[in-house]
Amino acid sequence: MFNGDGAALPYARLDSPAATREKKSAAVLPIFPLRVDEQSGDLSGFSLIINQSAGKTSVSLTTKEGQPVAAERLAGYLVDATAVHEPISAIKLAWQLKSGGMNTRIRIETSDDLNQWRTLVGDAPLLDLEYEGRHLLRDRVEFRQAPAKYLRISWPGQPPPQFHGVLAEFGDRVVEAPREWTEAPGSAVVDNENEYQFDLGGALPVDRVAIDLPELNSVVPAQLLARTAPAEPWRPVSSLVTYRLRQDAGEVSAPPLAIAPGTYRYWLLRVDPKSGGLGRGQPRMRAGWIPQEIVFAARGTGPFLIAYGNVSAASSALPVTTLVPGYTMRRRTAARRDRRVLIPVSRRRSVASSRRNRRGNIGAPRCGRC
């Protein structure tokens, strides 16, 4: 790190930010009563139909043969979760309390098509009791976190509760640290039709890889290998199954693959020949990494220069707590929010050899901070 006069400046590397967990706020879900005739048992023998007209939604039941069902007895509730895109981990129910309180048990099932149902909770207790001024309430049901378009609530052999609201709760969601991404076109290896090479243009600390296939409706198992120089042997990195499939009106592709971080420039995709290859065209590789951040003492005048790219030079970075007394992750977060602490920094891929010898390779920096 240098100032405008060419003087070396003390600097420190920051630890890469870790993934965080985020909890989504609870959401109110629409609820619809399900009524059957007096002679019918549970809801398993009926089909559900959702009707939408003039901005209103209703639910009707029919027999498996399509015959309408007389709405004489409350047998359950349908909960519409189609607007929710996170897996549900619990629901909280609201009801009208009758004299004498409530003590019942319910079953909760889930479905994506209103035809096939699977049980999430077979026998969950609900309580709402008062005695001598004390109130006992149990209105929340937890279950294994699962994506769901529809929930069906019933109470086999129990008196029907009068629900009027359902609140969905969600589990924690992992929020990954922001990454930089680069792309590289693939080229077929001469004399080997099942291998494709990629050159990222530099040895980047890649920890996410995605392979974009050239043709739709392709599923390709393969091995991923890498090396730092053309003369080195290929090193196995990971096995993967990448795909690109047509779905509804669009398409779906394999998500990026998490790999152990490694600073490789050259990559190789070795396709399993049993899969039939990639079809026409060449694949593309997308590589992601978390950029290195540094802090430095902004001594002297600018512009400040980050010199990097000499892998043989020894690092002279200080511990961040030495460079910034009292440094904490909280101060780092505050600095990120306050953009006024940023200092303009010049970036150069090549610098004079004397400067490279004085200040070693510091990786792929994102910005400088004081």
- Tell me the CATH number for domain 21-174: 2.60.120.260
For the stretch 16-63, pLDDT in tens is 777 777 778 889 999 998 887 777 766 776 777 777 776 677 777 777
For the stretch 209-264, pLDDT in tens is 999 999 888 889 999 999 999 999 999 999 999 998 887 667 888 889 999 988 89
Give 312 or 112, the one with higher predicted confidence: 112
Q: What is the average per-residue pLDDT within 74-98? A: 88
For the stretch 114-151, pLDDT in tens is 888 899 998 899 998 887 778 888 999 998 888 888 99
CB 36 within 8 A of CB 342: no
Residue 269 and residue 196: Cα distance in Å, rounded? 5
Question: Which of 289, 60, 73, 304 has its CA nearest to residue 182?
Answer: 289
One-letter amino acid of 49: I
Where is 337: in which H helix or E strand? helix 329-337
The model carries a pTM of: 0.56
Give 175 or 254, the one with higher predicted confidence: 254
pLDDT band at 296 (very low <50, low <70, confident <90, very high): confident
Measured distance between the N- and C-terminal CA atoms of the chain, rounded to whole angstroms: 12
pLDDT of residue 320: 83
For the stretch 312-357, pLDDT in tens is 777 778 888 888 887 765 555 555 544 434 444 444 443 333 333 3
pLDDT band at 310 (very low <50, low <70, confident <90, very high): low
What is the DSSP track for 151-190?
A: EEEE-TTSPPP-EEEEEEEE-EEEEPPP-EEEEEE-EEET
In terms of CATH, what superfamily is 180-289?
A: Galactose-binding domain-like (2.60.120.260)
pLDDT band at 309 (very low <50, low <70, confident <90, very high): low
Where is 343: in which H helix or E strand? none
Residue 205 and residue 182: Cα distance in Å, rounded? 12
Least confident residue range of 173-182, 190-199, 237-246: 173-182
- 3-state class of 6 per DSSP? coil
pLDDT of residue 331: 53
pLDDT of residue 369: 40
Residue 225 and residue 64: Cα distance in Å, rounded? 54
Give 101 or 351, the one with higher predicted confidence: 101
Q: Where exactly does CATH 2.60.120.260 map onto the chain?
A: 21-174, 180-289
